[in-house]
């Protein structure tokens, strides 16, 4: 195995149903010797497509040095959160 991604659909929001339904990306990992080969991009794209079929948002946190630069190269920007070393990324999946 060269990598994996783990994501969870939290189901409908208690008050707003699917209007704020969120998928949480818990982990995306690629073996160190296979990084920068496109594997992470393929895994993230698969998670994003899976999430887009069921939720409004995809959310994750990433370590500011070890993981956030990967997501930034994909065009995403993290926002500060209470855990300062782990910015939060929130992707709106509604079609534009």
At 18 the pLDDT is: 84
CA distance 80 to 37: 29
In a domain, 14, yes or no: no
83 pLDDT band (50/70/90 cuts)?
confident
Average pLDDT over residues 67-92: 93
pLDDT in tens, 14-65: 888 888 899 999 999 999 999 999 999 999 999 999 999 999 999 999 999 9
Confidence of residue 82 (pLDDT cuts 50, 70, 90): confident
Q: Residue 3's pLDDT is what?
A: 98
Question: Which one has a higher pLDDT value, 83 or 30?
Answer: 30
Residue 12 falls within a domain, yes or no? Answer: no
Name the domain count of the chain: 1
For residue 46, being part of any structural domain is answered with: yes
> CATH number of the domain that 54 lies in?
3.40.630.30
Long-range CB contacts (within 8 A, 24+) of 5-13? 5/29, 5/43, 5/44, 5/46, 5/47, 7/47, 7/50, 7/51, 7/58, 9/51, 9/54, 9/55, 10/55
Domain of 86 in residue numbering reads as 3-7+19-92
Residue 12 has pLDDT above 80, yes or no: yes
């Amino acid at each position: 195995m060269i990598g994996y991604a783990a994501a969870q659909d939290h189901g409908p929001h208690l008050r707003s149903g699917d209007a704020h339904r969120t998928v949480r990306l818990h982990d995306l990992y690629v073996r160190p010797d296979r990084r920068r080969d496109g594997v992470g991009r393929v895994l993230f794209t698969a998670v994003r497509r899976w999430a887009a079929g069921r939720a409004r948002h995809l959310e994750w946190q990433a370590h500011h040095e070890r993981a956030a630069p990967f997501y930034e190269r994909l065009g995403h920007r993290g926002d500060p959160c209470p855990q300062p070393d782990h910015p939060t990324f929130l992707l709106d999946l509604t079609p534009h």
